[in-house]
Structure 1
Amino acid sequence: MRQFNGSLTLGLTGASGAAYGTRLLSALVRAGYQVHFLMSDAAKIVVRTELEEIWPDEPEALATHLTEQHQAQPEQIKVWASKDWFSPVASGSGAPKTMVICPCSGGTLAAIAHGLSDNLVERAADVILKERGRLILVPRETPFSTLHLQNMLSLSQMGVTIMPAAPGFYHKPSSIDELLDFMVARILDHLGIDNNASQRWGCED
C-alpha cells in the first residue's frame, strides 16, 4: 500500500473562489497528503465559469484529470460523487479526521451548522463534527448577512475554524497567485503542515 504523510478531505462548493480550492489541492499534493476530493453540483459551475475548465463528471475520470493536472501520485487524489453515501468520508468509521471546505458557500455553511446533509460535502462535514475532528471552512462572501454570522458563530462554538478568504497585503502581492498563496499558507498552518507558500509577517524574502 502506498504511504502518504496523512489523509484529509477537501470539499469545493458553489461560492466564488474556486482557485483557492485548486491551489490548496496542489499544495496538499506537494506536501505528500492523500486527498479525498468532493464537489457540490454548484462548484462544477463555478469551476467552469471562473477557471474556464470543464472537468469530467465521472469521479474516476475526474481523479485521473486532477492527478495529471497536479502531478499527484496514483491514488493520491480520491474523488467521490456528490451522492456517494457509501464512500469512506460518509462514515465515522472510514473518514479522515480532518476536512477543509474551500471555498465554502453560505448554503453549505448553513447546512453544516444545522446538521442538514443533502450532499456528500455536507455529510462529510457532519461526520467530522460528530467525530470531534478538525474542520476548516473558508467562506468567500461579502457582506456577511446576520444569518451567515450566526451560523459561523454556532460552528465556531463547536470547534470549527472559520477562515474567510481575506488575503493580507503586507507582503505586497503583485499577482493573483500571490493572493491565493497567502490564504493557502494560512490554511496549511492551521492544518499543521509546514510550508513556505507565502511570505510571513516580519520575515524577509
Structure 2
Amino acid sequence: MKRRLVVGISGATGIAYGVQVLRFARAAGIETHLVVTPAAQQTRSYETALSARELQTLADVTNKPAEVGAAIASGSFRTTGMIVAPCSVRTLGAIAHGLGDNALTRAADVTLKERRRLVLLVRETPLTLAHLRAMTAVTEMGGIVMPPVPAFYPRPDSIDEIVHHTVARALDLFDIDVPGTPRWGGDSAVPEPSPLVSRNNSLRKASR
C-alpha cells in the first residue's frame, strides 16, 4: 500500500510550513490528503502568491473542511499519520477536547484514536495557560506538539532554508527522509563562529 499522509493547514501564520510539507512529501513518493480551513485560506492570500487552486494541486487529494464524512475522517482509512502545519491554537484546542467539528479536527481525532502519529506545528507566542493545557492534553493522548522553532546551527541564509529544515525535522517523525537535511553529529567539530558572532565577540573584547 502506498504511504499516505494527512496534511492539515489551519489559520495561523506560517502557511509556508504546510506548503513545504506537501512538496517534500510528493518528492518522497508519499500520497497526501489535504484539508485547509477557511482561516488558512485567508492566511494563504496574505502570505503567499499561491491561489487556492495552486495550493490544492500540491496534494494528491483535497478535502473541504465541511466534509466530515471524508475518507480521512474514518479510522478504516489507513494512513501513516497526520501533520497540521501550521496549527492554530483554535485548532489545537479543538483537537485537545476531541471536538471533531470539521474535517481537519475530525481527521486529527481519528489519528489519535487509531494510535497513529499526529504532529502539530503550533504557531503562537506568548502562550497562555489555556494553550499549555491544550498542548499537555494532546501530548497525553499520544500527539506530538512541535512548535516550528528555527535551528540556527545550519546557518540559514533565508526564510526558505529555515522552513525547509523545520519541515524536514517534522517529517523525520514519520520516518520520511528529506535528502540534504543538515544534521548535527555527536562527533562533529564545532562550527566556526558566524561573521556576526565573531564581530560581536570582537566588540565585547574591545569594550573591556
Gaps of 5+ in 1: 68-76
Letter of the aligned partner of 1:170 in structure 2?
A: Y
Deviation, structure 1 residue 19:
0.3
Q: Is the 8 A contact 2:23 2:58 kept in 1?
A: no
Q: Select 1:131's aligned residue among 111, 114, 138.
A: 114
Letter of the aligned partner of 1:66 in structure 2?
A: L
SS for the counterpart of 1:101 is strand
Question: How far apart are the structure 1 equivalents of 2:67 and 2:55?
Answer: 15
- The corresponding residue for 1:37 is 34
Q: Is the 8 A contact 2:82 2:118 kept in 1?
A: yes
Q: Select 1:66's aligned residue among 58, 61, 78.
A: 58
Q: C-alpha deviations, 1:146-176, integer Å up to 9, x for none?
A: 1111110111111111110111101111011
TM-score where L is the length of structure 1: 0.86
Question: How far apart are the structure 2 equivalents of 1:198 and 1:173?
Answer: 12
Give the superposed CA RMSD. 1.7
Q: Is the 8 A contact 1:182 1:197 kept in 2?
A: no
Question: How far apart are the structure 1 equivalents of 2:175 and 2:91?
Answer: 25
Question: How far apart are the structure 1 equivalents of 2:58 and 2:145?
Answer: 26
SS for the counterpart of 1:191 is coil
Question: How far apart are the structure 1 equivalents of 2:116 and 2:4?
Answer: 13
Moved more, 87-96 or 151-160: 87-96
Letter of the aligned partner of 2:130 in structure 1?
A: L
TM-score where L is the length of structure 2: 0.84
- The corresponding residue for 2:8 is 11
Question: How far apart are the structure 1 equivalents of 2:78 and 2:41?
Answer: 23
Question: How far apart are the structure 1 equivalents of 2:78 and 2:98?
Answer: 17
Greater Rg by CA: 2
Letter of the aligned partner of 1:10 in structure 2?
A: V
SS for the counterpart of 2:69 is coil
Q: How does 1:138-153 map to 2 (within 5 A)?
A: 138-153=121-136
Identity of aligned residues (%): 41
Aligned pair count reads 187
Q: C-alpha deviations, 1:179-201, integer Å up to 9, x for none?
A: 00111111111111122353111
Q: C-alpha deviations, 1:12-62, integer Å up to 9, x for none?
A: 000100001101110000000000011111000001100133213xxxx86
Q: Select 1:85's aligned residue among 53, 64, 68.
A: 68
Question: How far apart are the structure 2 equivalents of 1:118 and 1:146?
Answer: 23
- The corresponding residue for 2:201 is none
